[in-house]
Structure 1
Amino acid sequence: MDVTEKVLEVMRAEGQPLNAGKIAELGGLERKAVDKAMTQLKKEEKIVSPKRCYWTPA
């Protein structure tokens, strides 16, 4: 499982908007890797932001 899949899995499991720091903490991932994965997910429109700095699956 790559980092982008892990980020989406953590977001779906939590069921509420999360910021990158919380995703890294819950998923046991490095913050830098989460930021990179989230950038890719934003470009692919797989995540959306309901409020500033918090993200949820699209």
Structure 2
Amino acid sequence: MEITDKVLEVLRAQGEPLNAGKIAELGGLDRKEVDKAMTRLKKEGRIVSPKRCYWTPA
């Protein structure tokens, strides 16, 4: 499973907007890897930001 899939899985499981630090904490992932994955997900349009610095699946 790719890191992007893990990030999306954590976001879907929580059901609320999360910031990168919380995603890393809940998923047991490295923060830098989460940041890279989120950048890719943003470019692909797979996550959206309902408020500054918080993300949710598109």
Q: Report the TM range for the smaller structure's normalisation.
A: over 0.9
Which runs of at least 4 in structure 1 moved beyond 3 Å after TM superposition? none
Q: Calculate the aligned-residue CA RMSD, in Å.
A: 0.2
| Alpha-carbon distance between aligned partners in 2 of 1:27 and 1:55, rounded to the nearest angstrom | 15
Counterpart for residue 18 of structure 2: 18
| Alpha-carbon distance between aligned partners in 2 of 1:32 and 1:20, rounded to the nearest angstrom | 9
Query: Where does structure 2 lack aligned partners over 5 or more consecutive residues?
Result: none
Counterpart for residue 29 of structure 2: 29
What number of residue pairs does the alignment pair up? 58
Query: Where does structure 1 lack aligned partners over 5 or more consecutive residues?
Result: none
Question: In the TM superposition, what is the alpha-carbon distance from 1:24 to its structure 2 partner?
Answer: 0.0
Counterpart for residue 56 of structure 1: 56
